[in-house]
Amino acid sequence: MHERGPRRGRVVALAGGVGGARLIDGLAAVLPPEKLTAVVNTGDDFEHLNLYVAPDLDTVMYTLAGLAHPERGWGLADESFHALAMVERYGGQTWFQLGDRDLATHLHRTHLLRAGLRLTTVTERLCRALGVAHRVVPMADRPRRTMIETAGGRMLAFQDWLVRERAAPPVLGLSWQGTCEPAPEVLDAILEADLVIICPSNPYVSIDPILGLHRVRWALAGRKVIAVSPIVHGHAVKGPLAAMIESLAGRAPSAAAIAAHYGELLSGIVVESGDEADLELPALGTATVMGARDGRIRLAHDVLGFAETLS
Amino acid sequence: MHERGPRRGRVVALAGGVGGARLIDGLAAVLPPEKLTAVVNTGDDFEHLNLYVAPDLDTVMYTLAGLAHPERGWGLADESFHALAMVERYGGQTWFQLGDRDLATHLHRTHLLRAGLRLTTVTERLCRALGVAHRVVPMADRPRRTMIETAGGRMLAFQDWLVRERAAPPVLGLSWQGTCEPAPEVLDAILEADLVIICPSNPYVSIDPILGLHRVRWALAGRKVIAVSPIVHGHAVKGPLAAMIESLAGRAPSAAAIAAHYGELLSGIVVESGDEADLELPALGTATVMGARDGRIRLAHDVLGFAETLS
C-alpha cells in the first residue's frame, strides 16, 4: 500500500512528541517499514506512581497505531479516567493525567523493564501489539533525564516543569542526568541512513537530548540532514518553545533561529511558506502545520522531495 | 448512629475475604469505631504487574466503605476494565482481574509502600480516604505468603493456585514464606480485647496465617474467642474450603471439623441452625449465611449476644 515512485533510501526521523509523531505518521504512509526508523526522545521519561512513563514514545506509538487523541498532545482518543479519579479520592498524585488504557501501557512497559528487557525491546513489543509496522526506537535504553534550570538555580525534572508547573518558570538552562549511551539501534540506523529528518519538535528538549548522546553527532556528520522548523511565523506550533528560544538563544523565535541552533548539522531546512527570510542554507517553504492525516502525508512528500534536490 | 444497649467491650475480628468482610460490616453497624478492630489476613497478598495487591484487605475495606461488588467476592460494585483490556491487547497478564478503580488502590498503596510507609499505615490512610471509620489492620507489615503444596511437591503461591489454576490442584499441605512478626497493632488489639471473633473465613488460608504469627496464640490464650463456622450443612459458603478439610483434616466438612481445627482456642462457636451436632463446646445455632446488610447486622447481634452468655 506504499506509493510507487522513485526508489527511496533509508530514512531516520529524530522526534519528540506531537509534531514529530505527526510527521513520522506521514512518512510511514509514504515509506515501507524497512525504510523508516523513528528515533524518539526519552529525556521526558519519568517514574510516576512507580510506573515508567515515556510520553514521547507513547505519542509516536499511539499516533502510528491510529489511536492518538486527535487534538490533545498526549494519550489515546478512546480513553476514560476512572483509575485517576480513584487515585484522587485517595489523595494521591493526579497532576499527570493517566487514562485507564494509557495506564495499561505504563503497567505493561514497567513490568517488562523490571523483568530485565531493554527499553528498545519493550518499545518494539508494545508497537507490534498495537499493529505499528514501522520501527520506533527510544534514543537510549537507560534513563537520560532532561533537567530544567529555573530562577535561583532551582532544578526541575522535565515533567515537573512542563506539566506540574505548567511550563511557567522561565528556563535559564538545561542539563541532563543519566546515561550518555544511545541505544545501539540508534547509531546503527543513523549510519545506514540516506537521509536524517529532524522533525518539527522542540530543539532544546526533544532533539538536543538525542544529539547529546555519545557518537550521535559523529554519526550524523557529513550525512544529509534536514530539519523541519517547529516555529511558524514567529510562534511555536505547540508548547513552550518560543519562550525557550528567547531565554536560551537570546533572540526572537523564527525559522532562522532553528537553523542557527542546529548550525553545521543541517543540509537544508523546511519552513512554513513566508518564513524563508534570513536562512543561509537550502530551504523549502511549504505548509508545515499538520492536522489530519492528509496534511502529514503531504508534508512527508514535500520533505522527501526537497531532500532529493540536495546533493 | 450505633445502637443503644448493654455496654459492649472491645472486639477484635480475625478475617479473610468475603465472609469475614460481611460479618465485620455487620459488627461495624453495631459497634462504635473505638470498640472494633478488624485484623485481616495478608497471606494472599502478592505482587502483580509490580503492584502490591492485598485481596482480603481490599475486600474488607471496600465492604466497610459500601463500595464492594454485591455478588462477586472481589472488587468494586461500580467498576470498569479498560486498563485490563489494553493489557490483554499487549499480551500481558490478565488472569488476575484488575478493575480500573481497583487498580488505583493498588497503585496508591504500592506508591506509599515504596515511599517507606508500613502496610498498617497505608491501610489506615486508604480506609480513611474511603470513609471507613472502623479500624482495619493487616496481620503483618511485611509479607507472609501462603504457599500451597500440590501433587508431586509442587508449591504454588496462593493466588496462582486460587485464581490462575482455579483452585483445581488438590491441596496436600500449606506453608508460609516471610515474616513471623505480626503488625504491632495486632497484638495491642488482641491484648485489649474483651472478645475475639474468628469470622466465617477459611481456617487454613485466612485464619491460620494470622494464628501462626509470633505471640498471637499466646495473646489469645485464656481470652474469650468465638468462631463463626464457614461450613453450612456440610458445604463451604464460598471458595475451596470443603475440599481442603477433606484433604488436610481427612474428614468430612462440618461445623464440628471447624471446631476441632481451632480446638482449645475456642470459648464457643456459632453455627448454622441444624449444625450443632457433635459439638463439644458452647454453641449457638442461627442463620449464618449473610447476604444483604440486615443479615450481617443480625448475625453480628447474634454473635455478640452469644458472647455475653459465655463466662
Could you tell me the domains of chain B? Answer: 11-46+125-309 (3.40.50.10680)
**Cβ separation of B80 and A100 shorter than 8 Å?**
yes
The answer to whether the Cβ–Cβ distance between B90 and A114 falls below 8 Å is no
B62/chain A closest Cα distance in angstroms:
13
Q: Which residues of chain B have a CB within 8 Å of the CB of A101?
A: 82-83, 85-86
- CA-nearest residue to A103 within chain B is B83
> For chains A and B, what is the number of CB pairs under 8 angstroms?
103
A86 contacts on B by Cβ (under 8 Å): 100-101, 103-105
CA A46 to chain centre: 15
pLDDT at res. A71? 84
| Mean pLDDT score, A194-220 | 97
- pLDDT by residue (tens digit) across A104-145? 999 999 999 999 999 999 999 999 999 999 999 999 999 999
Q: How far is A31 from chain B (nearest CA, A)?
A: 25
Three-state DSSP at B29 gives helix
B302 has a pLDDT exceeding 90: yes
Min Cα distance A76 → chain B (Å) is 11
Q: Which residue has the cell 441452625?
A: B273
Considering CB atoms only, which of A50, A83, A91 is closest to B103? A83
**Do B87 and A100 lie within an 8 Å CB cutoff?**
no
* B83: nearest CB among A89, A104, A125: A104
- What residue has cell string 506509538? A61
Q: Does the distance separating the beta carbons of B49 and A91 come in below 8 Å?
A: no
Is the CB of B82 less than 8 angstroms away from the CB of A92? no
B104 and A84 within 8 Å at the Cβ level: the answer is: yes
Residue of B nearest to A48 (CA): B111
pLDDT at B70: 85
Suggest the residue from B50, B52, B93, B128 to mutate for an interface test with chain A (most A CBs closer than 10 A).
B50
Contact between A90 and B129 using a beta-carbon 8 Å cutoff: yes
ipTM above 0.95, yes or no: no
- The highest-confidence range among A150-159, A243-252, B126-135, by mean pLDDT, is B126-135
CB contact under 8 A, B50 and A87: no
Position B237 confidence tier, pLDDT thresholds 50, 70, 90? confident
User: Does the pLDDT value for residue A38 go beyond 60?
Assistant: yes
Distance from C-alpha of A56 to C-alpha of B256, rounded to nearest angstrom = 63
Q: Beta partners for A37? A: A12, A135
Q: Are A101 and B83 in contact, with CB atoms under 8 Å apart?
A: yes
| Residue in chain B lying closest to A85 (CA) | B101
Which of B197, B158, B150 shows the shortest CA–CA distance to B55?
B158
Which CA distances in Å does B25 have to A116, A187, B39, B121, B199?
43, 61, 13, 21, 11
Q: Which of A108, A109, A112, A125 to mutate to test the interface with B (most CBs of B within 10 A)?
A: A108
Which among A80, A92, A104 has the least Cβ separation from residue B90? A104
Cell of B115: 515511599
For residue B1, the model assigns a pLDDT of 45
Q: Is there a contact between B104 and A91 if contact means CB atoms under 8 Å apart?
A: no
Res. B307: pLDDT tops 50: yes
d(CA A69, CA A78): 7
* pLDDT tens, position by position, B133-160: 999 999 999 999 999 999 888 999 998 9
- Provide the shortest C-alpha distance from residue B243 to chain A (in Å): 35
CA of A60, closest CA in chain B: separation in Å? Answer: 16
Here the cell at position B267 is: 470459648
CA B222 – CA B208 distance, rounded (Å): 18
The percentage of residues in chain B with a pLDDT greater than 70, rounded to a whole number, is 97
Nearest CA in chain B to A76: B86
Judging contacts by C-beta atoms under 8 Å, the chain A residues touching residue B100 are: 80, 82-83, 86, 100, 103
Strands (DSSP E) found in B41-187:
46-48, 51-53, 135-138, 144-150, 154-157, 173-178
A49, A85, A129 member nearest B91 (Cβ): A129
Q: Is the pLDDT of residue B111 over 90?
A: yes
Q: What is the pLDDT of residue A1?
A: 45
Indicate the DSSP class of residue A126: H
pLDDT number for residue A60? 97
- The single-letter code of the amino acid at A199 is C
Q: Residue A57: which of A38, A70, A72 has the closest Cα?
A: A38
User: Which tens digits make up the pLDDT trace of A233-277?
Assistant: 999 988 889 999 999 999 999 999 999 999 999 999 999 999 998
Closest-CA distance of chain B to residue A50, Å: 6
Using an 8 Å CB-CB cutoff, list chain B residues near A65. none
